[in-house]
Amino acid sequence: MESQKVEEQIINQVVQQTDIQQNNQDINQGDNNSKQEFPSVRNQSMDIETTKAETQKIDMSYKQKAQQQSNQEAQKYQYNNLQAESNSQKIQNGAMISSNQPQNILEEEGLDSEQEDQSRINKKILSKCKGKNDPVLVNYANVLFYAGIKKSNFGRSELIEQIHYRYQNYQILEYDHAYIQWIFPNKYKSSFNYQSKELSDEEIEIFLVEPLLAKRIVKSYEMMLDFYGMSIKNYITGELKRNKNYKERYEDAVCGHNVLRIRRILTSLSNLGFRKYAIQLCKFLQKEINEGDRPLKNRKGDYNYDWQMYQECQDKSDEKILEANCFQKIDQINRESVFFTMGFDKQKQEQLANDQGEEEIQQSKQQKKSF
């Protein structure tokens, strides 16, 4: 009933506008008597057709405006998804390819050859498979996904490259609940995505030594940090900093189900050779909760209940708690990823130091101006 009333109001408005236009034309022609005339009666059939056409145009304009954002997103992902699909097929065929990842996540320059990494992983796993139903594919599902060979399933079902193109698309990152289990695998059985696979010991050994997988883990981490309003300040130590939009992101993202996502990230980092990153994330969260302007002061309960067990261990008791939550021994947890021995580190850190120095100079200039 309400929709019919709205439609009748729109039709009446269009009829009135049509009548006014017709009256103005009559006046210009010298027909003064037309001022008292009701034009819709003169050409009723024509007015009805015009009204319907105008109503359809208005209705279409509203629909187009409402769907504009989703259409733009679809156009944005169309090429990227086709490119990622093509890359996946080339990998499976043994072709040598290079990734086309967004440059605003992690620079590809200076890293080990991605083609060699893909070829090595391809030989290491796919050559052992006898068919699509081979158990090897199931046992190494997380490695195959991170290598760009297997899609995630349940939900959008995408390749790792496609998921990384979600960088700064906060709406998709928030409301899609099926990707986080794939980009941060751990040894837990997920209660939210039954098609995701627990991380196996065999997979961990591959993740620790493969540069391609290591740098893609960092890309996943950077994507989610940005979602939370944070970013990496130092790639070697894992030290973090606030983003410019941190207030908005803290309010929107560091709450609800995203609290459990942070716990999954902490566990996965500890499993995959990025223990120092997990420690630094805990330190940063603790600082934002307890120090300065305390923008995350309302998350203290979440820290104590969900995140605290992944902070830096102070004694054997802490180590046992960490082992229980990671399903690994402390010696295994403390092993480092090949990421920290890759050749780009020194160059990257020098660049970050320069950027940090320029930022400090700008801040000091602004402080002097305020005085």
pLDDT recorded at residue 336: 96
Please count the other Cβ atoms lying within 10 Å of the Cβ belonging to residue 230: 23
In-domain check, residue 258 = yes
What is the chain's mean pLDDT, rounded? 74
Encoded tokens for 154: 């349940």
Question: What tens digit of pLDDT does each residue of 32-67 get?
Answer: 443 343 344 444 445 545 555 555 554 555 445 445
In a domain, 75, yes or no: no
Distance CA 209, CA 217 (A): 13
Q: Which residues, 6 or more positions from 32, have their beta carbon under 8 angstroms from its beta carbon?
A: none
pLDDT of 122 over the 60 cut:
yes
Question: Which of 12-16, 69-73, 251-255 holds the top average pLDDT?
Answer: 251-255
- Selected residue with higher pLDDT from 181 and 19: 181
| Nearest Cα residue to 220 out of 182, 188, 172 | 182
Q: Which residues pair with 157 in a beta bridge?
A: none
The residue that leads in pLDDT, 103 or 350, is: 350
Check pLDDT > 80 for residue 354.
no
Q: Is 182 within a domain?
A: yes
Neighbours of 96 (CB within 10 A): 12
Cβ neighbours of residue 193 closer than 8 Å, sequence gap 6 or more: 154, 155, 177, 178, 181, 182
Between residues 237 and 29, which one has the greater pLDDT? 237
Task: Work out the pLDDT band at 278, boundaries 50, 70, 90.
Answer: very high
pLDDT at 80: 46
Residues 6+ apart with CB under 8 A from 240: 225, 230, 231, 232, 233, 280, 281, 284
- In the chain, the percentage of residues whose pLDDT exceeds 90 is 45
Q: Tens digit of pLDDT for each residue in 76-117?
A: 444 444 445 554 454 444 333 333 333 333 444 334 466 677
* Per-residue confidence (pLDDT) for residue 234, from 0 to 100: 94
Q: State the total domains in the chain.
A: 1
Q: From CA 232, how far away is CA 243, in angstroms rounded?
A: 10
> Given the structure tokens 């992983």, which residue do they identify?
121
Residue of higher predicted confidence among 357 and 216: 216
Q: What is the pTM of this model?
A: 0.67
**In this predicted model, what pLDDT tens digit does every residue of 217-242 receive, in sequence order?**
999 999 999 999 999 999 999 999 99
Which tokens belong to 222?
């950077």
Q: What pLDDT shows up at residue 246?
A: 96
Q: Decide which of 215 and 11 is more confident.
A: 215
Going by C-alpha positions, the residue among 28, 50, 26 that lies closest to residue 37 is: 26
99 found inside a domain: yes
Give CA–CA dist 149/102, Å, rounded.
19
Q: At 171, which amino acid appears?
A: Q
Q: What is the pLDDT of residue 195?
A: 84
Q: 18 vs 4, 22, 53, 55, 283, CA distance in Å? A: 21, 6, 12, 13, 67
Strand pairing partners for 232? 240
Q: Is the pLDDT of residue 360 over 80?
A: no
Token pair of 283 as six digits = 């330190």
Domain that holds residue 354: 93-365
* Tens digit of each residue's pLDDT (9 = 90 or more) over 282-321: 999 999 999 999 999 999 999 999 999 999 999 999 999 9
Residues 215 and 217: their CA atoms lie apart, in Å, by 5
Give φ, ψ of 230 to 5 degrees.
Answer: -130, 170
**CA-closest candidate to residue 227, choices 167, 160, 296:** 167
Residue 146 pLDDT > 90, yes or no? yes
41 within a domain of the structure (yes/no): no
Tell whether 351 is covered by a domain. Answer: yes
Give me the pLDDT at residue 219, please.
Answer: 96
- Is position 101 within any domain? yes
Angstrom CA distances, 2 to 7, 13, 62, stand at 9, 17, 17
